[in-house]
């Protein structure tokens, strides 16, 4: 009887351990969209561990064949929300010149897709697959809308953001033999009295070997407030706005 009881206890403990491990197994799905072309991938993302993918995604819409790099780190949930740290890159014909690259952190509620980043015509959508829970009253996410405008050319870069976290986007494009590189980095600080917060930014726009715009600075934004601007080189203006 003692042996049978011992085996029962062992099996129960094994079942509980397996159930607990399974409860921490989540799947993160990403989709990068540009016009009608869509590239998607889903990967297992255990809590507290980094998950990496480098390969061919699923494709729809007839766009060119691409490979993607998708790195994630899923943090332990707080109040039903999961913070996802992400890095995504879509490869172009030249691996060193990806047409879209973005990184940041976003709060996710299971079953609710989020447009986490948008830049240069690309939309990056991420979803923690599972049953949606109740909407948290503690949700702190906002949206940052930024744009670098140089003459008739503009480079928008928008992110769903969290305070004190860094966000970045890099875009490469080519016309003939001329290669353009656009880069923006953002760091929204924690809000102070009245809800205003400091946005630190850095940016770069190069055409071939010529720098068209370059700089770093700070803007004080108010969620739901007006768009603010700052000079960013000859005939170039950087603007930023915080949405609620």
218-243 pLDDT, tens digit each: 999 999 999 999 999 888 999 999 99
pLDDT on residue 134: 62
- Cα distance between residue 35 and residue 37, in whole Å: 6
* Residue 11 scores a pLDDT above 50: no
Among residues 227, 216, 228, 162, the alpha carbon closest in space to that of 190 is found at 162
Residue owning tokens 């062992």: 10
Mean pLDDT within 22-33: 84
Q: Could you read off the pLDDT of 39-63 as tens digits, one per residue?
A: 999 999 999 999 999 999 999 998 8
Boundaries of every domain in the chain = 26-134, 140-244
Question: What predicted TM-score, i.e. pTM, was given to this entire model?
Answer: 0.86
């Amino acid at each position: 009887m003692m042996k049978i009881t011992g085996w029962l206890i062992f099996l129960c403990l094994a079942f509980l351990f397996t159930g607990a491990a399974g409860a921490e197994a989540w799947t993160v799905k990403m989709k990068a969209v540009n016009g009608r072309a869509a590239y998607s991938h889903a990967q297992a993302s255990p809590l507290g561990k980094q998950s990496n993918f480098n390969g061919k995604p699923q494709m729809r819409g007839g766009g060119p064949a691409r490979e993607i790099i998708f790195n994630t780190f899923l943090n332990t949930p707080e109040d039903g929300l999961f913070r996802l740290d992400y890095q995504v890159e879509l490869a172009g014909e030249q691996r060193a010149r990806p047409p879209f690259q973005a990184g940041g952190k976003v709060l996710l509620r299971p079953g609710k897709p989020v447009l986490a980043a948008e830049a240069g015509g690309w939309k990056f959508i991420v979803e923690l697959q599972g049953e949606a829970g109740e909407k948290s009253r503690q949700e702190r996410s906002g949206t940052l809308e930024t744009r670098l405008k140089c003459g008739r050319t503009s480079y928008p870069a928008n992110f769903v953001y969290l305070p004190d976290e860094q966000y970045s986007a890099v875009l490469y494009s080519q016309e003939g033999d001329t290669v353009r590189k656009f880069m923006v980095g953002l760091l929204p600080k924690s809000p102070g009295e009245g809800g205003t917060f400091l946005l630190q930014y850095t940016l770069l726009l190069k055409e071939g070997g010529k720098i068209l715009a370059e700089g770093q600075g700070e803007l004080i934004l108010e969620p739901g407030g007006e768009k603010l601007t700052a000079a960013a080189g000859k005939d170039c203006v950087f603007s930023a706005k915080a949405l609620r």
